[in-house]
Structure 1
């Protein structure tokens, strides 16, 4: 009997101890890994076509992290990549309109990972004041552009992916419309850009574009928006997102030439653009981002990328006409803090 009583007392003490531990556990937060403090200036180098969504994203980031100030630096993606790789300029985030610039120009010396986060397509933009606005359509646009009184433009293929993608679209048009002189009539006749063909692969030589005639070339594609709106141009090659964000009218082109669909990836690959930055291969338009190795505020840069590829960034990109890649693609040594958001 005494033994039974001793056992019951012992059990009571154990239950009491467990109860007390449970109470303490409810009042004290579970230990967590201390996250780095996100503060200070966050420098974001980004493609000009990301200006509108990134302004919105920057505001959301500063609201989430009150101690931060986001400095947006828009320019042609190729130029920005070279600023980092050749001039060792510091950026906490690099977001490119062509993800291949990251493995092509930054890996491994200036980056060892990147994510893909958005898509786009090429369109031909115009306004109500453009010449032949009542005639142009997806079937005859190239005949309108070759008219001597029409002013049209694209961005510099050596500085801006939209520039070399414009040339890809024009070259792809030859096979789609069954006219093998489209490129020479539109581009060759109005610039120093030439094209050669070997075994079904077309190489556009664009290192020295030297526009003339009715073509104009500017460092980045978003500069062409102002020229269109002011009447300085009739037509300009842009991404659809830029057209949507600036309320421009545009011609929706066939997927076979607008660089929007993986279904036509093999067709796109038949066009190469020779630029000062190297040979650019025709691919579907996909945006990429990374935190360069020389970032001065890498923790904040990573937090910005995390917001970009998470639900907040996805909603912003989608609302601005740039469909997000969901989940984001992750390549290289993706940091553990964002790896769960990638595939």
Structure 2
């Protein structure tokens, strides 16, 4: 009888603790983060470290292509507190001035070619011959949607730069045949596979569904893929080749149907901002704290640990008064 009573008391205590924990969790302020797929791994670590320092907040992240993330805020009016893009110009082009007031350039990256041991010619491909390998019969290549994801249009720009660097005129048209812009559904499924964001393609390449993936070097490292480090003249890594990068252009969808934005090659720079759609004061306070944490030494250390370069201090444009 006494043992039964003890069990009931213990069960009651457990239930009480569970309810108290749930109640405490429900009272946390939610910070909603929309971010580029390539930021998924470092932002998962940043989320954990941020919540340890600020336990009153519950960070909820949603990964997508950067342009898709911006359009969820600007077009669908989906509530978000922070937007982090793999291309800072997405924030400038699609969010400022109505849905963001500032843009903090905080990280860098570079393009690479990822593959597994299952890829055709995996034992032969190098940074010198990959364009020739890509054109071989039976080889299939993956890239993300240029209209939804910066990695997609950067894949196009890298290929156009490769035409000049490797002295292979016509490489772009032979491989893709997209012309000056990409329209959904136009890819040659026998040669090319396209998904909304670059991280959507990771499981497929690991399963051997295609051979080579245009991807950010940091993502390739995070997922333990083999990869080729491309020449800096092609990889969109180095500011010293900025003038050369500009020679490559590609058109993507603009803010409105029928409008176009011409993307020019340039060194890869990430941007982050506080979103301005339907945000409440409490969330804005948390959003600012999160952005400041990303820009802090601790946040930068997490970015570097996960294979990305950082811009320290961040280059902030627009009205950044809420950060100070």
Q: Same fold (TM over 0.5)?
A: yes
How far off is 1:248 after superposition? 0.5
Aligned position for 1:270: 247
Question: 1:306 aligned to 292, 309, 318, which one?
Answer: 292
Aligned position for 2:264: 281
Aligned Cα RMSD in Å? 1.3
Is the contact between residue 117 and residue 287 of structure 1 (CA under 8 Å) also seen in structure 2? yes
Is the contact between residue 39 and residue 65 of structure 1 (CA under 8 Å) also seen in structure 2? no
Question: 2:202 aligned to 218, 222, 225, which one?
Answer: 225
How far off is 1:335 after superposition? 2.5
Aligned position for 2:186: 210
Name which one, 1 or 2, has greater alpha-carbon Rg: 1
TM-score by length of 2: 0.86
Question: 2:134 aligned to 145, 149, 174, which one?
Answer: 145
What is the distance in 1 between the residues matched to 2:86 and 2:149?
8
Is the contact between residue 207 and residue 276 of structure 1 (CA under 8 Å) also seen in structure 2? no
Aligned position for 2:47: 58
Question: SS at the partner of 1:159?
Answer: coil
How far off is 1:209 after superposition? 5.6
How far off is 1:336 after superposition? 4.8
How far off is 1:225 after superposition? 1.1
What is the distance in 2 between the residues matched to 1:265 and 1:337?
29
TM-score by length of 1: 0.82
How far off is 1:330 after superposition? 0.8
Write out aligned runs for 1:183-198 (5 A).
Answer: 183-188=172-177, 193-194=178-179
Number of aligned pairs? Answer: 288
What is the distance in 1 between the residues matched to 2:288 and 2:185?
37
Deviations 1:204-251 (A, max 9, x none): 322446111210000000011111111112110100000010001101
Aligned position for 2:104: 115
Tell me, which stretches of 5 or more residues in structure 1 are unaligned?
1-37, 195-203, 339-343
Aligned position for 2:276: 293
Aligned position for 2:18: none
Aligned position for 1:48: 37
Is the contact between residue 42 and residue 300 of structure 1 (CA under 8 Å) also seen in structure 2? yes
What is the distance in 2 between the residues matched to 1:81 and 1:209?
22
Deviations 1:88-110 (A, max 9, x none): 22211000000001111111111
Question: SS at the partner of 2:125?
Answer: coil
Question: SS at the partner of 1:331?
Answer: strand
Question: SS at the partner of 1:185?
Answer: helix
What is the distance in 1 between the residues matched to 2:308 and 2:185?
29
Question: SS at the partner of 1:205?
Answer: coil
What is the distance in 2 between the residues matched to 1:289 and 1:141?
33
Aligned position for 2:8: none
Aligned position for 1:162: 151
Write out aligned runs for 1:34-45 (5 A).
Answer: 40-45=29-34
Tell me, which stretches of 5 or more residues in structure 2 are unaligned?
1-26, 255-260
Write out aligned runs for 1:76-155 (5 A).
Answer: 76-155=65-144
Question: SS at the partner of 1:180?
Answer: coil
What is the distance in 1 between the residues matched to 2:275 and 2:323?
16
The answer on 1:67 being equivalent to 2:47 is no
How far off is 1:39 after superposition? 5.0
The answer on 1:330 being equivalent to 2:316 is yes
